[in-house]
Structure 1
């Protein structure tokens, strides 16, 4: 890849920032024999009266083991939105820098750019929903700090080609953020397998989708130790509460995810096959996620018809390349059967 110097990307104020030091940062050897009078906590034990581990060490150790990475390469946030926001705040100067996003894609990239006063250069995907690599690289300037690649992409459901992603990583001096929220449903491997090969690669994942923990708000960022160290400087000290940490460890340890993923992929394929036979469905797009994007004759009409039948999906018709497109999440077998039955009557 082109010469990469992380130090040139970090915001000036972040470089000189002295991070907040919490009580648990200053004294880490927690054990029950000690009397803790350092954090102004309520001393009466109830299971949550103490501050949580600010580094989420047990959860990181479990994730590291499952994904073949080191704990030092992991940052955990209050949902993916927090880890994405931290990237903006660490590397993008407000009213000065810019990012590149590839609509149609996850809307929070643009929202976070607006919140942080960062220009968002939008390069529309090709008609086959693949990145227009030449157009992307042509838009890069010295002020371009981040390129966001959502793969599998939301709302289109497809994965980006390895060739396109590699060309972007190898020809961009800023950070390439690959959002893998739906990677567990994909036939493609995670880019985690080559994380150590690219110092400018950042990968985000979540426990909200395949792992069934949307209510816990656990977002995960994987990157080099150097990038993680910078993000830790600005991370809120106790951003993941004790109950969320405990429940995430408990559910990850149950090892039920693979069975559920297989069932959802089976159901995804079943629903997609049925959709191709519905008269008002004009196209069904291939999906590597737990949802399907499909084109209909009139998205507003069909959305409202389903809503009136008690089925809530998403109308994506206002997104680029998604005219008259609906997005349906794959539910349980019974839920999907009910949707199929209703679709056949419309």
Structure 2
């Protein structure tokens, strides 16, 4: 990892998936029953789940209509509430796919920990904040083997930060938190960098194709810009379309409860994407 990311090994923490990293950040930097975390929904659900497990109060500042950070409200909250010790942000964001523009400003204007989740950054690696960890002592960058590296079941998550933070994470992690089998799987994947790069290129090419074809469908109202390996798609009736796709054994993520009439569609293989389009063309709403 040090060689691949050009980051010293002392600035790297390996966790049992990013979810363990999230949990450990709460354990290290938030006092149960006293401190708070700020999150910006719609976003990755485990920030809230883990906060509840660790008895950390949750302050929510929803994203703006363009799925960017509401910096005025965030600063208002952090300046008025000293219990906010952590901010979790996800960029590219899940489930919107949007890259957050004001992360640098956020890091520089918040005295607590900014945990930046870059789970999908391998699909836009030029946008990573990894080079910034030596500049900002309050920044933790999280990445994962679950997406571009195709090792979701292996549970290997990575945190990058200054050595003081890495040392604290090492002190509170369980012993043997990443199994030898999972370590071997990650090492084998790292030895296949060119294959991974080729796979990412194919996914991004398929994404462009899928965007073009989805925008031609009458049931599709909008395809949002995405820096990830999925698309957020506004449709005429998300619940109905989701259920009809399930009947055809096609699984998307119904995000209607968070974002009106939106489905999150992961980019599949060549054949899967064309099957999806075929079924969407024949859906009745």
TM-score by length of 1: 0.80
Q: Does 1:177 align with 2:177?
A: no
SS at match of 1:196: coil
Q: d(CA) in 2 for partners of 1:64 and 1:287? A: 28
Measure how far apart 1:130 and its partner are. 0.3
Q: How many residues align?
A: 280
Q: d(CA) in 2 for partners of 1:298 and 1:133? A: 32
Match of 1:341 in 2: 278
Match of 1:157 in 2: 97
Measure how far apart 1:188 and its partner are. 4.2
SS at match of 2:166: helix
SS at match of 2:55: coil
SS at match of 1:186: helix
Match of 1:269 in 2: 208
Among residues 310, 319, 324, which one is paired with 2:261 in the alignment?
A: 324
**Runs of 5+ consecutive residues of structure 2 not aligned to the other structure:** none
Q: Classify 1:108/1:68 alpha carbon distance in 2 versus 1 (closer, same or farther; 3 Å).
A: same
Q: d(CA) in 1 for partners of 2:8 and 2:179? A: 22
1:292-345 Cα distance to aligned partner (Å, 9 max, x none): 0011111110001111111011100001xx101001111111111111111111
Measure how far apart 1:186 and its partner are. 2.1
1:151-170 Cα distance to aligned partner (Å, 9 max, x none): 00000001011xx1111111
Q: d(CA) in 1 for partners of 2:58 and 2:222? A: 30
Q: d(CA) in 2 for partners of 1:294 and 1:247? A: 34
**Runs of 5+ consecutive residues of structure 1 not aligned to the other structure:** 1-62
1:50-100 Cα distance to aligned partner (Å, 9 max, x none): xxxxxxxxxxxxx01000101101111111000110000011001100010
SS at match of 1:127: coil
Q: d(CA) in 1 for partners of 2:181 and 2:51? A: 31
Measure how far apart 1:193 and its partner are. 1.5
Q: Does 1:200 align with 2:141?
A: no
Match of 1:186 in 2: 124
SS at match of 1:292: strand
Q: d(CA) in 2 for partners of 1:252 and 1:233? A: 26
Task: State how 1:1-346 maps to structure 2 within 5 Å.
Answer: 63-140=1-78, 141-161=81-101, 164-186=102-124, 188-255=126-193, 256-319=195-258, 322-346=259-283
Measure how far apart 1:184 and its partner are. 1.0
Q: Classify 1:88/1:81 alpha carbon distance in 2 versus 1 (closer, same or farther; 3 Å).
A: same
Q: d(CA) in 2 for partners of 1:157 and 1:306? A: 21
SS at match of 1:294: strand
Measure how far apart 1:142 and its partner are. 1.6
SS at match of 1:100: strand
Asked if the contact 1:187/1:288 (under 8 Å) is kept, the reply is no
Match of 1:22 in 2: none
1:124-168 Cα distance to aligned partner (Å, 9 max, x none): 10100000111101101221110111000000001011xx11111
Q: d(CA) in 2 for partners of 1:231 and 1:150? A: 20
Q: Classify 1:92/1:80 alpha carbon distance in 2 versus 1 (closer, same or farther; 3 Å).
A: same
Q: d(CA) in 2 for partners of 1:187 and 1:159? A: 12
TM-score by length of 2: 0.97
Q: d(CA) in 2 for partners of 1:203 and 1:194? A: 9
Q: Classify 1:232/1:138 alpha carbon distance in 2 versus 1 (closer, same or farther; 3 Å).
A: same
